[in-house]
A and B are shown apart, each in its own frame.
Chain A
C-alpha cells in the first residue's frame, strides 16, 4: 500500500520540483513496501547448507558421479527413447544399450553416460609438482579448452568410450553432464556419434501470475566489492540510497518501493586472497610463508570491508528485506556449495536477522510471491566458460537447465564437497528465474521448454565495474536495469 500525500500526485511533479524553494506546509510522499512472501525453498537449500558436525571427507567423488548418473540416466533415456525408438539407420533399427562397454562394432545403438572431457590444460596436481622440479612454459588458466587435443569420452558404471564425429565436436559439452548419444562403434574402438540428446528442461511448477496492477520487483545485484577504503566508489552508496527510496524524485521512490526483495549475489567483500596454491612463484605463497604466527596476522587482515558492508546493509535492512549470498571472494568456504556467510561478520545487520536480513547459501533457491528463483554466485558458469571456446554465458546457463544440472563441472574443476547421499545440484524442477552473478555484463533472455516451461535467464554484471542493478518483475518476468554513475565516469 502506498502512503501518498494529498499534495500534487507524483506524476504531476515535474522534473524540477525539487529545485525549488521549500514551502512551509508541504507534505512529501513516503512509500511503503508491500508485505510479501519472500521465502527460501528449504527442500533444496537444506541440501546445500551442510552442518559442520555432519561433514565427512573420507568418501571419494566417484559416488557423486554415480548418484548423478543414477538420477539423470532415466530422464535422458526417456528423451532418447522418445526420439530414437523405432528409428532405423541404414535399414538397421537402433536400440538402446545398457552399458557402454557392450557396444558392438558396426551396430547402431544409443548409450547413456556422463561426459568426460580430457583436457591437457586442465589444472593438474601432477603439473604443479612437476613445476617444482623443472620449469615449464606458463599456461594461461583462462580456458582449458584446446580443440585439437581434447578428447571427449562417455563414461558410465562399466567403462568409457571415446566419442568422435563432427556432431560431437560442435556440441557444447562439459565434463559431468549426462547425455544420450546415438551412433556406432568404429574400427578403432571409438564411438562415432550421429545424434545426441539431453535430459532437457525439468518440469516447472506452474506460477499464478497475479493480475494486480501493483508491480513487484526483485532487485538483483552482484559484485559490490565493498572495500571500505577512502577511495571507495560512491555508486554503492547511491544504490543503497535508491533502494531506500531517498534518491531521485517521487517516481523514483515509488519504483523503489515496488522492490519487495533485494538479493546480493556474491562478491560483496573485496580483497579476498586466492586459495593457497602450490605454485612457489605465486605471490600468495611468498607472503604466506612469512606468516608463521598463529591466530590472525594483523598485517594482512583488514576489517574495513566488513565494517563498511555491515554499515551499508544495516541501513538498507531498515527499509527492504535483503538476502546476501556468498561469492567466490567472500569470507566463507571456497568450495561449492558455499555456506551462508556467518552473520557474525555483520554485527549491526545481524540485528535484523529473522526479520529483514538473511544470509543464504550459494547456490540458493527462493520462492518470492510464487516466483521460483535459482541463483548462483556465478562460479558454475565461469567454470563452464573454461571448457568451451566462446563466451556466450546465457547459452551456458541454458545448457545447464537442459542438462538438468546447475554445476556439471563439479567436482572435476569446480571444487565441491564430496556428497554421499545425493547430488544437490541436479535440477528436479526448472525455476522461473535463473540468474548468475559476477558475470562480465548484463544479458538476459527467455528460454522456453518442451512442456511449457518458461525461464528468464539473467547474467548479473559486477556492480563495482558497471554500476548496474537488475530489477525483475515478479509477475511478468520483465527485466529492468538501474545504473548509477559518477559524473559520467565511462564504463
Chain B
C-alpha cells in the first residue's frame, strides 16, 4: 500500500542516506499533494520512534497569531487638512488600528511546546521536515531541499504543479519554452514567433534549420523573401523554436544575415552560382528527376535530404535568381508546377514580414552544399549579399570605464560587411566602428551596398569606403 511505500522511502532517505527531507521535497518526489506529504512525515515520525529510536528528528511549523496581537500604529485620521499645517493634526483622535499579524515559526521538535505557548492562537501545526539529527540554527540542509524542489518544479508545467502538489494555481502563469524567449525579446522575432505559431508545423521546416552548414543558404533567402515566405508561412512554425536565435540575428538586414554558419561560404556570390555548383560539384548531387519527389518527401524525410531536395530543385530549375528557385519550390509544393517567376526586388527583412527571415533561415539549409559551389554564380545581383565568411576583425568599443578598447573578433561577414552576430551588430553602431556605417544606415544602404559589396570588399580593410569618414 501507499503507506508502506512512503515509509520505506523515508526510511531510506533519512536513516540510511542520512539526508533531511522537507514535505515539499517529499511531495515532489512522490508526486503527491503537499498536505498528504505532511501527513506522511508525521506518520513516519510516529512510527519511527519505535523502529529507529532517536534516528529521526522532526522540525515543525506552527502558524497562528502570536502574542501580543495588536500592532498599534497610530492611525491618525486627518479630517481637516486645511487647518494650519504648521503642526500635524495630532490633536485629532488617534485610533489604534488592529493589524492582524499571522506568524509562521519553524521549530525543532524539542522546542515545539515552548513555541506553542508564545502563540495566542494556533492555526495549524504540521511537520515541516524530517532529518537524522536536529538541524543547526540556520537550517542549511533545508535550503538544499528547497533547491531540489525548485529544480523539479522548473521542468513542469505550472498547472501540473498546481494539480499534483496542491500549489495555488495562477491562471495567467505561462512558462515559455526555451529558445522561444530569444524571439520574444526582439521585436521582429516576436512577430515572427506569433506569426509562425500559426497552424502548421511542417516537419520539413523543422528539419531545415539544423542543417545550417550550407553555403547555399545565402542565395536562397533573398529569393525566398517575398515568394517563399508567403508559401512557407505555415511551414515556418516550428522553425521558430529552433531558429529563433537566427531570426533575431537576421532581422536587421536582408540577405547577408546568414548567421547560419557556413564555413565554406566564403565565396558565395549569387544564387545561381550556388545552384550551378551544387548541380555540378555537390557531393550530394541528385538526379533532377528526383526533385519533385524529394520536394514532396521533404515533409517527412530527414533534414539533409530536404536540403538536398531543395538544392536539387534549384539546380534543376536552373533559375535565374535564387528567388526564382525559391519561387519554384513554393510552387512545386503548392501545385507541382514550377514557375520561374523572377522576383528581382532585393529582399529585405524589413520589407517583407518577419516570416521572411524565417524563410531565409529555412532556405539557407536548403541550398546547402560545399562552399566552393557558390563561387561561380553568374548572377551578380545577389553577389554582395551572398558571401559569408569568417573574418577576424578589430572591434573598437567603449569600455565601461570610457576607454577605447580594441578586441579582435571573429565575425561572419558578408560582402556588404554586415555582421551576423548580435554583439558585432551592436558594435557596428558603436562610436568607433570603422568598417561599416551605423545600423540604421546600414539597412538603408543595404541595396546600395549590395552592388558595392565587391567594391567594399576590395577597399582597405576596415574602411568601407571613403564616404565612411563622413557617414560615421
Contacts and interface: CB of A to CB of B under 8 A. Distances in A.
Interface of A: 15-22, 24, 26, 28-33, 35, 83, 167, 170-171, 195-198, 200-201, 230-234, 237-238, 241-242, 244-253, 255-257, 294, 311-312, 314-315, 317-321, 348, 350-356, 395, 398, 402, 442-450, 479-489
A351 B158 CA distance: 12
B124 A249 contact: yes
B81 A200 contact: yes
A40 to B, nearest CB: 15
Contacts of B27: 246
A250 B138 contact: no
Contact of B154 (A18, A170, A255, A314): A314
Contacts of A353: 176, 181, 184
Contacts of A257: 168
Given A246-B24, A319-B162, A356-B170, A486 B176 contact: no
Most chain A beta-carbon neighbours within 10 Å: one of B42, B106, B147, B161: B106
A488 B103 CA distance: 10
B127 A18 contact: yes
A353 B175 CA distance: 8
Nearest to B27: A246
Contact of A19 (B84, B125, B153, B170): B125
Contacts of A35: 171-172
A15 B150 contact: no
Given A170-B87, A480-B101, A32 B171 contact: yes
B178 interface: yes
Given A35-B172, A321-B170, A18 B126 contact: yes
Interface residues of B, number: 95
B78 A448 contact: yes
Contacts of B137: 486-487, 489
B63 A487 contact: no
A294 to B, nearest CB: 6
B102 interface: yes
Interface string B365-385: 000000000000000000000
Interface in B234-287: none
Contact of B123 (A15, A321, A444): A15
Interface in B1-22: 1-3, 6
Nearest to B122: A15
Given A24-B2, A256-B168, A395-B88, A486 B102 contact: no
B140 A231 contact: yes
B70 to A, nearest CB: 11
Nearest to B35: A28
A73 to B, nearest CB: 18
Contacts of A170: 86-87
A450 B81 contact: yes
A195 B84 contact: yes
A340 to B, nearest CB: 14
Contact of A351 (B71, B125, B147, B181): B181
9 contacts: A18-B124, A21-B42, A230-B143, A244-B168, A318-B153, A348-B154, A352-B173, A450-B82, A479-B97
A238 B81 contact: no
Given A20-B42, A196-B86, A356-B173, A28 B33 contact: yes
B382 to A, nearest CB: 33
A230 B143 CA distance: 8
Contact of A315 (B34, B73, B99, B150): B150
Contacts, number: 279
B174 A249 contact: no
A30 B168 contact: yes
Given A486-B138, A488-B105, A446 B77 contact: yes
B167 interface: yes
B123 A249 contact: yes
A318 B184 contact: no
B39 interface: yes
Nearest to B152: A315
A233 B81 contact: no
B75 to A, nearest CB: 5
A486 B74 contact: no
Contacts of A196: 85-86
B81 A248 contact: no
Contact of B24 (A232, A241, A294, A348): A241
Contacts of B149: 315
Nearest to B33: A28
B6 to A, nearest CB: 8
Contacts of A355: 172-176
Contacts of A244: 167-168
B127 A19 contact: yes
B76 interface: yes
Contacts of B166: 28-30, 245-246, 253
Contacts of B78: 398, 447-449
A88 to B, nearest CB: 17
A196 B100 CA distance: 39
B138 A318 contact: no
B252 to A, nearest CB: 15
Given A233-B138, A318-B175, A31 B168 contact: yes
Contacts of B122: 15
A250 to B, nearest CB: 7
Contacts of B111: 487-488
B107 interface: yes
B433 interface: no
A445 B73 contact: yes
B61 interface: yes
B52 interface: no
B154 to A, nearest CB: 6
B108 interface: yes
Most chain A beta-carbon neighbours within 10 Å: one of B1, B40, B126, B137: B126
Most chain B beta-carbon neighbours within 10 Å: one of A18, A355, A356: A18
B448 interface: no
Contacts of B81: 200-201, 402, 448-450
Interface string B295-322: 0000000000000000000000000000
B171 A248 contact: no
Contacts of A197: 85
Contacts of B173: 317-321, 352, 355-356
Contacts of B71: 442, 481
B181 A350 contact: yes
A395 B88 CA distance: 9
A338 B61 CA distance: 38
Given A26-B36, A246-B34, A33 B75 contact: no
A19 B41 CA distance: 9
A448 to B, nearest CB: 5
Interface in B178-192: 178, 180-181, 184
A19 B39 CA distance: 6
A252 B63 contact: yes
Contacts of B108: 487
